[in-house]
Amino acid sequence: MESQQQEPVTMDVRNMAPVERHPKIFEKFMSLHPGQELRIIVDHEPKHLLEHMKHEGLPVVSSAYTSFRNDDGSYVGVFRRGDSVASAGNIKITSFDDERSFSPDRFSPIGIYSGESYKVIITYIKAGQFIPVHSPGTDLIFAVFKGTGTAIAGANETKLSPGSIIIVPKGERRGIMATTDMEALHVVSPIPGNRDHVEVMEKLSQRKFL
């Protein structure tokens, strides 16, 4: 059960370098008490940050997210901290239906479990959306449950359909483009750090797949 709400904390990140924003936001968010809100001031609609928080396993309350635009054109995203997420080692039972959360703007990775050296994600990608081609320091297992698309894996390009499984070692290029709404189980090891997300976030902001 969530604790009673406390005074919100406001954080203006407009003058921060893009590569610094998310680590500092996450650090500040995790310093809040359950039920407390973090209000992020940015220059664009920040809903993608909600998806990134969920992807990282942060205890953010998705249903409490709101945003509004100021008179000066800036946006404020409101993120409420819930109770702490379950620790690694706890049993997790869920489904694609229970976790389903497509985003209108970009692919939606929902972190559902973290072990000591791996992370399990259910990824939802609407038709035309993509995971940009990047080369992180993580091994990847990507198994398609629904939908079709194209994958870049190293120097290879292959078609995806339900049942497709791709395994890509760390350092190798990988990226996914959906041609129909796609749902996939996505396992990475080790757990990615902020450096592993930099190329993805930069390409998403530029709407670049390759």
Domain regions of the chain by residue span: 9-80, 96-206
| 171-175 long-range Cβ contacts below 8 angstroms, 24+ apart | 171/135, 171/136, 171/137, 172/135, 173/133, 173/134, 173/135, 174/131, 174/133, 174/134, 174/135, 174/140, 174/142, 175/130, 175/131, 175/132, 175/133, 175/134, 175/151, 175/209, 175/210
Q: Which CATH architecture has domain 9-80?
A: 2-Layer Sandwich (3.30)
The answer to whether residue 182 scores a pLDDT higher than 90 is yes
Residue 85 is predicted with a pLDDT of 53
Residue 189 CA to its chain's centroid (Å): 16
The answer to whether residue 164 scores a pLDDT higher than 90 is yes
Which residues 6+ apart lie within 8 Å of 82 measured at CB? 2, 34, 35, 59, 60, 61
DSSP 21-57: HHHHHHHHHHTSPTT-EEEEEESS--HHHHHHHHHTT
9-80 and 96-206 agree in CATH topology: no
Q: Which CATH architecture has domain 96-206?
A: Sandwich (2.60)
29-86 per-position pLDDT tens digit: 989 999 999 999 999 899 888 878 887 778 889 889 999 999 999 999 999 998 765 4
Pairwise pLDDT comparison (2 vs 117), residue with the higher score? 117
Beta bridge pairs of residue 141: 167, 187
How much is the average pLDDT of 145-168? Answer: 98
Instruction: Give yes or no for a cis peptide into 34 (omega within 30° of 0).
Output: no
Pairwise pLDDT comparison (13 vs 57), residue with the higher score? 13
Residue 91 is predicted with a pLDDT of 79
pLDDT band at residue 144 using 50, 70 and 90 as cut-offs: very high
